[in-house]
Chains A and B, each alone.
Chain A
Amino acid sequence: MFAYDVKKNGTDVDVTLTGRLDGAVAPQLHEQMVALQGQDIKNITFHVKDLEYISSAGLRVILFAKQKLGADTRLYLKDVGEGVRSVLEVTGFDNFVEMI
């Protein structure tokens, strides 16, 4: 089960992710990230308190967002749970995001 919510406040974007972000649902989130390209975004924060699980495809959507939104955009993961944190650490994806 997966749900997401994207809110834009000026140059900040808040994305709330809930449930399981896997290959079946990742394309939906990917489309949202593509839609943000080219806009003036200074900060994008993924609120992941209720994200239970993230798969290879899910990680890649987030990394894609970082790459496509540009070096000037700060990407945050907020309230990362233990399971997701472990995945980020062992794969090195934690180097690409800031956890707050």
Chain B
Amino acid sequence: MIRIDEYPTHEHNGIPYRCGRVQPFGASVTSGGGINFSIFSRDATKCELLLYHYGAPEPFAVIPFPEEFRIGHVFSMIVYGLDPEMLEYGYRFDGPFDPAQGYRFDRTKVLLDPYAKLVSGRNRWGKEPDWNDPFQHRGCVIMEDYDWEGDKPLEIPMNDLVIYEAHVRSFTKDVSSGVRYPGTFAGLLDKIPYLKELGVNCVELLPIFEFDEFENSRVIEGRRLYNYWGYSTVNFYAPKAGYAASAPMGLAADELKNTVKQFHKAGIEVMLDVVFNHTAEGNEQGPYISYRGIDNKTYYLLTPEGYYYNFSGCGNTMNCNNSVVRNCILDCLRYWVSDYHIDGFRFDLASILSRDQNGAPMTSPPLLETLAHDAILGKTKLIAEAWDAGGLYQVGSFPAWGRWAEWNGRYRDCLRRFVKSGAEQGPELLWRMQGSPDLYGNRCAEASINFITCHDGFTLRDLVSYNQKHNLANGEENRDGSDNNDSWNCGAEGDTDDREILELRLRQEKNAVALLLLSRGIPMLLSGDEFGNTQFGNNNAYCQDNQISWLDWNLLEKNKDLHDFFKRMIHFRAKHPVLRRSDFFRDKNSSGYPEMSFHGTRPWELDESQPFLSFGVLYAEPKADYGTKEDAFIYCAVNAYWEEARFELPSLPNGMVWREIEYTGKEGRANRAIRDGAVSLMPRSLMLLVGKAET
């Protein structure tokens, strides 16, 4: 079929063009061999399209949009005769400059298309840019085709997830990773077998949308610090080119799509950490990259005097509930789901997304409602970091419409405190292990993302090795990073040869992760924790592109015991559906026992309202209810006390016997039968037992 509207009607210095199509936004190759450019600006009085040969300092064409090409607030044109592979493009807008009224148009600035699908300028991570180039981040055109060979988002049931948080570059950059393409999307591929064997089924990647690693970059004591984590978005539709081994060939999009496809083949979902709460343009002192010069008043939350509200702590705040911005965010997420087959999103500082255009919190934020009910996102996982830097804390109250899960910061705090003998946390821990029905009782345990560690804060190894943060390497005199870590160094700060301290640290790591994986709710692990990765006490390594952040895979062999423990616990969780039930059911099931119950050192006796350091949790998992191979009981004895404790075990039905499965203390004997009805646990240890039919 031939289109009858694919011929040029205008010409500019020999370049043919015509009126374009308002949709889709961005730059897209048309069937007639042209490139359609479409961009929104409500307050601009004039718009120009600038076309560059790849890498050239000056444009080869500057084409003003004729007024007759504008529909509503959208400018569009189709340009012919361009080679998409060798093209870079940008826009200039004219309009009022009156900051007090929110207008900051500057017709000397060339701006990045917010809907560009690839961005050039930072193709090679860490390559010093040309600081004289006034147009650093440029739009590029990609073929938005890909042969997925039947792949689609995996739709693994939420309650079956074991999430693994990783930074693309940190994960494989160190030479110890042994991958072919270190620090890249392709680098992740070589670790898929490792992750599959570990048993995780969801990888959550720190920001992979295009960002500028040179933002706020500085040199401290001869070492360059970068905007390393990437919580500062330059463009929401482009994968970070510097994370792609094939970026110099313009193939970052294909490389990321292949990475997602291979993860899916291995049964692993891919989730993205997304940062809609602010952009890389900062406050009034920040650069013109994109939004500020396109439509400042639409995209940013502004004070009545025209300054930038700073609920993000990063200089500006996106105007997320503005109807145009809402659509942008929705378009973006739909794009990543449909074109990259992304399985879910974790929203950084998500409480900002519940603020209105004046910054006030809303009870029914239109953006969150839109995302919760969107057709294309209907099976996509939505996870909120349910707080912001402006005082909102919404853990347990994030506007959810039954769809949004939350990073359960209260789980993290409670577990950390209990494990280092915080007895007063005992009663709360019982709620956390149930999936936090006190927070999510009107929903289900799938709303609770349980975690001990994440990119913010200590690694698990450091959580048990340091009382204080050690962030001097960040160049902020150790003022940055949290002081409330609920960590405990087990007797010495940092490196030590003391064998008992090292054994205690290992025990504490195992205790923590066992409790996490035996809790209802959705567990999340931090990459590298499973082999004791350390950041040497740095709990805010956002700027460290070096061995502080890079995972040390040599530790895998050194800490094999810990790694194997993680693996066994993850597989244990996968094998026992009672742990993954999400409706908070605890009553008697067909076994005749309560499905989930708590005990003291004597069975069926625990004062859940008083502090305690020793307790047991019993799960009853009858095959009739769960479709498993055989009836089973799971009992975990937890001794966070600094003395030995003896636990009497709950009686099992006739014909069943308790067997030790895991013991974090010394001299564990896997599969040993317990016939005297009791077990002794050394200080600060945990024992996992399973009751099954005697064979």
Which residues of A does B touch, CB under 8 Å?
Answer: 22-24, 53-57, 59-60, 63, 86-87, 89-93, 95-96
Contacts and interface: CB of A to CB of B under 8 A. Distances in A.
Contacts of B244: 90
Nearest to B84: A23
A92 B262 contact: yes
Q: 10 shortest A-B CB distances, which residue pairs?
A: A92-B258, A23-B85, A90-B186, A91-B254, A90-B245, A90-B246, A90-B255, A23-B83, A91-B251, A91-B255
Contact of A90 (B84, B147, B258): B258
B674 interface: no
10 contacts: A59-B254, A87-B251, A90-B246, A90-B251, A91-B246, A91-B251, A91-B254, A92-B254, A92-B262, A96-B147
Given A86-B181, A90-B186, A90-B251, 8 more contacts: A56-B143, A56-B251, A56-B254, A87-B246, A87-B249, A87-B251, A90-B244, A93-B254
Contact of B245 (A53, A59, A86): A86
Contacts of B184: 90
B74 to A, nearest CB: 28
A53 B248 CA distance: 11
B444 interface: no
Interface of B: 83-86, 142-143, 145, 147, 149, 180-181, 184-186, 189, 244-246, 249-251, 254-255, 257-258, 261-262
Contacts of A24: 83, 85-86
Nearest to B244: A90
A91 B84 CA distance: 19
B468 to A, nearest CB: 42
A81 to B, nearest CB: 14
Contacts of B145: 60
Contacts of B147: 63, 96
A55 B85 contact: yes
A56 B261 contact: no
Contacts of B189: 90
A87 B180 CA distance: 12
Nearest to A23: B85
A96 B254 CA distance: 14
Contacts of B251: 56, 59, 87, 90-91
A22 B34 CA distance: 18
A91 to B, nearest CB: 4
A55 B249 CA distance: 6
B85 A60 contact: no
B250 A55 contact: yes
B83 A91 contact: no
Contacts of A87: 246, 249, 251
B684 to A, nearest CB: 46
A9 B258 CA distance: 35
B384 to A, nearest CB: 32
B145 to A, nearest CB: 8
Contacts of A54: 249
Contacts of A89: 180, 186
Contacts of B246: 86-87, 90-91
Contacts of A60: 143, 145
A57 B85 contact: yes
